[in-house]
Amino acid sequence: MDETQDYTKYSLDQLEQALRHTDEETYPLRFRQIVDEIDKRRREPIRIDTTETMLARRRIPLLALFLSLQTPGLGQLYNGQPKRGIVLAAVFSVTAALPFLFAVKLLYSFSGLLLFLIALMIFAAVYLFIFVDAFRGAVREKEFRLKRYNRWYVYISIMAIVHFIPWPPDLPKQELIDTFHSYRIVGDSMGPTLERDDCVVVATNYYNSRTPIREDIVVFPRPDDESRIAVKRVIALEGEKVELKDKTVYINGKKIADPWGHSSDSRGLSAAVSRRDNMEPLRIPDGSIFVLADSRDNSLDSRCFGAVKKETILGKPLYIYWAKNKKRIGMTIK
């Protein structure tokens, strides 16, 4: 029986498919109705809803990559994945902020340094994933209907907001730079505590709220040549009287425990020849310290250049983060 149907809700592709499966002789009315609907559709202008979608355009992978490099998550927005872009931008923000938020506390120990480096590697991996994901997402999009946010001025506005607002906010990056410095040991005077080519982390703020004590190892510019940085051990404090007798240290006339000092030369030089082994009593001025190397026969220290002013101390070495002898890496400096 040749009956008509409602084809107004059919798409053009569906109408053409229905026409192919409808025999004109058997169903002339239905055939004519389909032909008329197709003809009507082809004469109608193309309607584009500019509020929701625009013409289909392929995504450019290199542009998606560039946008993600400039602002993580923006490449995903370009690919029509705003939710994915927001999530990845949030993950990027967290992984970028966490290492620096806790770095000042972490870097006081070698284990903390390792955690800091692991956090940085996670951040780098997230960053790499974001722009690779944007690139691959653009490659996969064979035909993409533009959304209302796929406008060049939207991308530029987002980049401007991100780059002109300090980000990540309130991170102690400058404090991190000012607090921790790296030094390489170039001599043997502090062996075996510190050996040549040991690389150490020095806390420059260590003595901001502390005063040096006996046995501390400190870094400072040499009083006789401030262009040269020295590292020695504190032996005598301000107001104390220090004296050397046959390589033995006396403070205020009493022999002190000196487990750090060692000598390889069995000869004892008199004070008239050198202050290496024997030194007349010396009162340490206020605001100063007396320092010696652990290797007493191989050093220029307070026996040569006198007391060191506390205000010139650059910091305290905390640990060895790199060394020729790999067994020394991670050692706390005492």
**Catalytic residue numbers?**
189, 232
CA 202, 232, 212, 320 torsion-angle sign? positive
Residue 324: strand, helix, or coil: coil
The full length of the chain comes to 334
Please, are residues 220 and 206 in contact by the beta-carbon 8 Å criterion? no
Asked if 133 and 76 touch (Cβ cutoff 8 Å), the reply is: yes
- What angle is formed at CA 169 by the lines to CA 164 and CA 172, rounded to 5 degrees? 125
**Cα–Cα distance for residue pair 230/202, rounded to 1 Å:** 12
- What DSSP element (H or E) covers 43? helix 28-43
Report helix, strand or coil for 174: helix
List C-alpha distances in Å: 297 to 188, 218, 263, 282, 293: 10, 19, 6, 20, 9
The radius of gyration of the chain's CA atoms, rounded to the nearest angstrom, is 38
Report the alpha-carbon distance of residue 22 to residue 42 in Å, rounded.
Answer: 20
Q: Name which of 238, 242, 246, 240 is nearest 303 in CA terms.
A: 242
The whole-angstrom separation of Cα 32 and Cα 210 is 98
Instruction: State phi, psi for 138 to the nearest 5 degrees.
Output: -70, -35
Neighbouring residues of 21: CB distance < 8 A, sequence distance ≥ 6 = none
Determine the residue type at 304.
Answer: C
